[in-house]
Each structure stands twice: as C-alpha cells, then as structure tokens.
Structure 1
Amino acid sequence: MTHGLIDVARIAAEELERARANPHGRSARALTHDGRLRHTLLAILDGESLGEHAKPESATLHVLSGSLVVSSGEEETRLEAGQLAVLPGPSHDVTAVGDAVAILTTLAG
C-alpha cells in the first residue's frame, strides 16, 4: 500500500520503460490499495493488448497518454488522453494505439 503523494508522471515513465523491456509490451504497477478500491497504472505499447478478461465488480479507465481501444463483443470505444470511461462487462479487451498509459480504478472482492 502506498501512502502520501504519488508521482504519477515518474511512475508512468518507469512503467513505459518496463513495457519496452517486456516481450508482451505491457507493464502495470499498483498505485493505491484501500480496502476494495485499487488504482493501477498500466503502460501498453502500440498494438499490444491485455487480452479478453472479465470485468471486476466496478472498473474505470482514465487514459493519461496515447489512445486505448476498449472492445466488448461487437462494440469498440476509442479513448484518447484525458478521457475516462466505465469499462464494459462482463468481459472486454484493451488495445493500445500508440504507446499508452492509463490508470485503472477497480473495486475488487
């Protein structure tokens, strides 16, 4: 658990570097964990995806840089830097268009 102020820009730069070194082109780091509330910084390189996965109880995605395409079934939504969206369920995929950094906020059981 992280206390105090979090330097999101510094962590984003670090995670982008880790993603570049990862053969899957992505990296994630927990920013906060408060009870069931979690904030996770995601860095995903251009063209890489998280793969289809189940949505937690509640989840939002706030894009800090780059663009992400969220797909669920036949629907696709492109999120640009500065945009925030509730993630669709029951499952979805997230793919980067250009190198992207986002904060995933979840309520998990």
Structure 2
Amino acid sequence: MAELINVAAAAELELDRARMSPHGRSARALLHDGRLRHTLIALLDEQALGDHTKPEAATLHVLSGSVLVRADEGETRVEEGQLIALPGPRHDVVALGDAVVILSTIAG
C-alpha cells in the first residue's frame, strides 16, 4: 500500500524546526519515487537557500507564505498556493516572511 503523508502536519513541524535552527531553515525528504524527489522546506523571513544549480527538472509549490525566486532572467514572487518551474541553470529562493514550500525534483 502507498504511504500517505500528512503534509500540513509535516509543514508545521518543519516550521517549528526552522524556528529552533540557528540558520532559520529546515528541510526533510517527504517522498522518493525513482528519480522523483519531494522535499519539504521551511524558511524563516529573509532566509535564503543560496544560489545553486538546478537539477534536471525542479518545481516549487508554496504551501504557506511567499518566496522570491531569483535568477539571471529576473525575479518572480511566488505566493501561497502557487507553483513555479524553477529557472536554470542557477537560481536562489528567499523567504518573504516565514514560508513553507515543497520542492519537487527529477535528479540524475
């Protein structure tokens, strides 16, 4: 039988962990299916993931709060409930207030 995940409870837990972290962020793997990965990330206000290379494919779904996705092409504000395909080859994600997101990737 497939594993069911309570995303709302996991998001609340990660946000609590981020608040206790000196780095203001926390993440955990939610689900792996072959090369497909879903990672839950909590970021406190103004915390960033830092500039990094995009994997083969990646999307970001904002569960709560909002984030700013920055890349060479410009910046995009992503609000609660919105989904974005992350730009490449490099990008950064910054929290605009406390935020929780699901990062979905296809990794090589």
Does the alignment reach a TM-score above 0.5? yes
What is the identity percentage for the equivalent residue pairs of Structure 1 and Structure 2? 67
Structure 1: segments with no counterpart, 5+ residues: none
RMSD of the TM alignment (CA)? 0.8
In the alignment, residue 92 of structure 1 is paired with which amino acid?
H
What displacement does 1:15 show?
Answer: 0.3
Match of 2:93 in 1: 94
Secondary structure of 1:98's counterpart equals coil
Whole-Å Cα distance in 1 between the matches of residues 22 and 107 of structure 2?
28
What displacement does 1:104 show?
Answer: 0.4
Match of 2:12 in 1: 13
Whole-Å Cα distance in 2 between the matches of residues 108 and 74 of structure 1?
23
Whole-Å Cα distance in 1 between the matches of residues 73 and 87 of structure 2?
12
Match of 2:67 in 1: 68
Match of 1:28 in 2: 27
Whole-Å Cα distance in 1 between the matches of residues 16 and 33 of structure 2?
27
Q: Aligned pairs, how many?
A: 107
